[in-house]
Amino acid sequence: MLVRRAYIPEHLRPHQGDEWPFSVPCVAELVDHGLTFTRPITFLVGENGSGKSTLVEAFAEAYGVDARGGRAGRKYVNDRPKTPLGEVVRLESTGEGARVRGGSRRKQKGYFLRAETAFGFMEAVSGMYGYWDENTAEMSHGEGFLTVFSEMFREPGLYLMDEPEAALSFTSCLRLVGLMQRLGESGAQVVCATHSPILAATPGAEIVEIGEHGFRTTSWEKLDLVDHWRRYLNDPNVYLRHVTES
């Protein structure tokens, strides 16, 4: 593992927490207590608007990765304004993490894949040094995502993802599970915001449920996400009758 904890130093904490994003419960808890990572793979799971994407993009910025996506060590990243949370959040490194981050910029390993901006970014950097040779513009979105995963998620580094399942089929999600597990075993660290019960089931992963309560560590079986999918697949009409009946 490379990062032990995400936190906001006391002198950088907002005086009032009523402005976005500090009014979001999970961000407020990050301000007060920080978020400790105990396993190489961490999933942030929660409803739309819960703040999981806000957290993961701030972690990316704290590590030196553009919030819009891309790899660590890019020269022009620091020229772009950070998000309000990214300005103040800090990452406490492990011993290995300090060694990795203390190296040259070009040797830093990490990547932030953000589903909503990934397609345009992939087209812009395909063939550039430090990325991949394949032309992702000629691939389906899912194939393009898998190309990024296989080419950029290789060596020990910090890999952050925001809803990577957006372009992936069931089978492709399973391939990503295998890739993330191998990354965790190699000394890399993964933090992923997701709605996918498939990804969240990655063996050995830590699951942090995000919501009105802030955030809390839980198990896959206890996730509301898993319970809803199980009920829906067992009998879709239990849910559909509420949205299709006039």
Amino acid 8: pLDDT: 96
What mean pLDDT is predicted for residues 81-86?
89
Query: Mind listing the pLDDT tens digit for each residue in 97-151?
Result: 888 776 655 556 778 887 665 545 555 555 554 455 565 555 666 676 677 677 6
For the chain, give the percent of residues with pLDDT over 70. Answer: 77
Per-residue exposure over 156-175, b if at least 16 CB sit within 10 Å of its own CB, e if not: bbbbbbbbbbbbbeeebbee
- CB of 37 within 8 A of CB of 206? yes
Query: Mind listing the pLDDT tens digit for each residue in 51-63?
Result: 999 999 999 999 9
Q: Is the peptide bond before 164 cis (omega within 30 degrees of 0)?
A: no
Q: Is the pLDDT of residue 200 over 50?
A: yes
Classified by CATH at the fold level, domain 3-244 comes out as: Rossmann fold (3.40.50)
User: Of residues 80 and 27, which shows the higher confidence score?
Assistant: 27
Highest mean pLDDT pick, 131-135, 152-156, 231-235? 231-235
Cβ neighbour number for residue 27 with a 10 Å cutoff: 25
